[in-house]
A = this chain, B = another copy of it.
Amino acid sequence: MKKTILIGGVAGQGSAVTSRLIGKIFCRLGCFVFNYRDYPSLIRGGHNFNILEVSDRPVYSQSEKYDIIIALDQKTIDLHQMNLKDDGFVLASSRLRAERMKAIDTKPILEELEGPQYLENDILIGWMFKYFGVDKEFLFEQIREAFGQNSEKIEKAIEKGYLLAEEKEKLEKKEGNYFISGNDGISIGAINAGLDVYLAYPMTPATAVLHYLAKKEKEYNIEVSQLENEIAVVNAALGASFAGARAMVGTSGGGFALMTEAISLSGISELPLVVYLSQRMGPATGVPTYNSQGDLKFAVNAGHGEFPKIVVAPGDSQEAISRTEEAFYLTAKYRTPVILIGDKHLGESDYTFKELKSSSVSKDRFLSKNLPENYKTYEITDSGVSPAAAPGQGPVVRATSYEHDEYGYTIEDAETTVAMNKKRMKKAEQIEREVSRLKPTAVYGDGKNLIIGWGSTKGAIMDALPELDGFRFLQISYITPFPRDIVKKEMEKSDQVILIENSVTGLLGDIITEQTGLSVSKKVLKYDGRPFTADYIIRELKK
């Protein structure tokens, strides 16, 4: 079974909420669902839509042709019905007009229920699940769980819809799956890693992490604050980190730019920091609710001066969880900034997994005990890593933006400057070794041609792969330190090497050449703000 369902309406009609509900129900039935979200930057009006990809096998991206369009307004029909499959249809209230349509006379039902307009969505949901042969009681259970107290009218609306439909398919209920967005993955990854302090200033598409964690503030006893701007956010995070907290900040490109000075500070002061950069289409304000991977080189090179940095790019929600845990682990152990780079597509899409796994990396704070009185914050050790301490433990602890001696006192002489740069750069070697054990890359499939991608393009590439004879896929998850040897080896044993990236210029291609001297043979780029589809990739690669 594989179905593509588009749900659309004006902002405020609830296409996002409705699609998530439908997706979740399918997941509970044991289906695999991918939920893509598309909306402009406005609060009411405009055109929002979601595409739900539903399948009995794992699926990670949305398709271009739809089996069902659930239209909450006429615009949805006008914009999308041309993409209906031959046997597809529009499901909508009879107040709307479409070519191939299951029209439901929702008006009398709404009148009967004396309900708000949004109950129309539920009528359509009811209709659709009957169509798929889903058990009514099961449906009601889900609704009750989702809406609690407020579920009564919704149930009724669903029932009305249900009764109007005929069963066309018979979905067997299997064991339920997990349904989770990239941003939620980041959030629970952070909590599981032992997050103490999350600071942010709202910025699409990172904001959902702030919203999620703010909800969990009391339950998990974490400090979640929105400060006056991104500069306050990142400097307060470093203050917290100095005082012994596991601190994380989240933002998108513009806010990230404002944080770059402090990323450099994290480097020299050796204070742990996790920065979640959720990319959107730039430059500047750009197309703020649409997707891009165009900040990669900015992130990799963020901050003035030279210091070790880690840049890790999860490819789906499960990876969002584990890579976030790794980020906290690495920053705590090596005391240098980690940038967790995602994007709108990863962050705001929902993915399905049979189980959600947490990473096995240590959750230790890496704070030393039994500190000597004569404690040196920046002690020079073989590994470059100094034993860490928090103020309050006993001895004086220092952190500084200036070059410094082992105690953290300001210095300006040549020798100490060199020694401290060497010390910090030694950590880069350790990190490289450590990261090589964290599966920095993955290879899927086994063709002689190589597709290279990173981050959210994983989904569409994975879904395209079965259709692409002769292609395998190298996913690069750690951009810094770059898994040079693996990438080089993979490239050298391939005929063609194709970079797939949501960008104008193909930024990973530059990094690959910088790091390996090798060039990709072809770039498949997309910079219209919309993510790839498997179909698009297949078309491009079969050209």
Contacts and interface: CB of A to CB of B under 8 A. Distances in A.
Interface of A: 40-41, 231, 252-254, 256-258, 260-261, 264-265, 267-269, 279, 281-290, 292, 294-295, 297-298, 300-307, 400-403, 411-412, 414-415, 417-418, 421, 425, 503-505, 507, 510-511, 513-515, 517-519, 527-530
A421 B518 CA distance: 27
Contact of A412 (B283, B305, B307, B529): B529
17 contacts: A257-B303, A257-B304, A279-B304, A282-B305, A283-B304, A284-B305, A285-B401, A286-B305, A286-B401, A287-B412, A289-B412, A298-B302, A412-B529, A415-B528, A417-B528, A417-B529, A513-B515
Contacts of A301: 297-298, 300-301
Contacts of A417: 281, 287, 290, 527-529
A253 B256 CA distance: 16
B268 A286 contact: yes
B264 A257 contact: yes
A133 to B, nearest CB: 36
B300 A282 contact: no
A283 B264 contact: yes
Each complex incorporates copies of this chain amounting to: 2
Contacts of A268: 282-286
Task: Give the 10 A-B residue pairs with the shortest CB-CB distance, closest first.
Answer: A282-B305, A253-B304, A283-B305, A414-B528, A284-B401, A257-B261, A514-B514, A285-B401, A268-B283, A264-B283
Nearest to A267: B283
A401 B41 CA distance: 14
B254 A304 contact: yes
A376 B232 CA distance: 39
Which of A264, A268, A289, A400 is packed against the most chain B CB atoms within 10 Å? A264
Nearest to A285: B401
Contacts of A294: 304-306
Given A254-B264, A257-B303, 10 more contacts: A40-B412, A257-B260, A264-B282, A281-B417, A287-B411, A300-B301, A306-B507, A412-B529, A511-B514, A513-B517
A158 to B, nearest CB: 33
A295 to B, nearest CB: 5
Contacts of A254: 261, 264, 304
A286 B513 contact: no
B403 A286 contact: yes
A258 B256 contact: no
Contacts of A511: 514
A513 B256 CA distance: 27
A411 B288 CA distance: 11
Contacts of A283: 264-265, 267-268, 303-307, 401
A261 B258 contact: yes
Contacts of A281: 305, 403, 417
Residue with the highest number of chain B CB atoms closer than 10 Å, among A284, A304, A418, A528: A304
A430 to B, nearest CB: 16
Given A412-B289, A414-B530, A282 B261 contact: no
B287 A304 contact: no
A117 to B, nearest CB: 25
A306 B282 contact: yes
Given A305-B281, A306-B283, A518-B517, A264 B253 contact: yes
Contact of A305 (B253, B261, B401, B425): B253
Contacts of A305: 253, 281-284, 286, 292, 294-295
A6 to B, nearest CB: 16
A403 to B, nearest CB: 5
A62 to B, nearest CB: 15
A402 B40 CA distance: 12
Contacts of A503: 306
A305 B282 CA distance: 4
Contacts of A414: 528-530
Contacts of A284: 261, 264-265, 267-269, 304-305, 401-402
Given A265-B284, A403-B281, A306 B514 contact: no
A323 B358 CA distance: 54
Contacts of A288: 402
Contact of A303 (B292, B298, B300, B307): B298
Residue in A260, A284, A529 with the greatest tally of chain B CB atoms within 10 Å: A284
Contacts of A507: 306
Given A284-B269, A513-B513, A418 B527 contact: yes
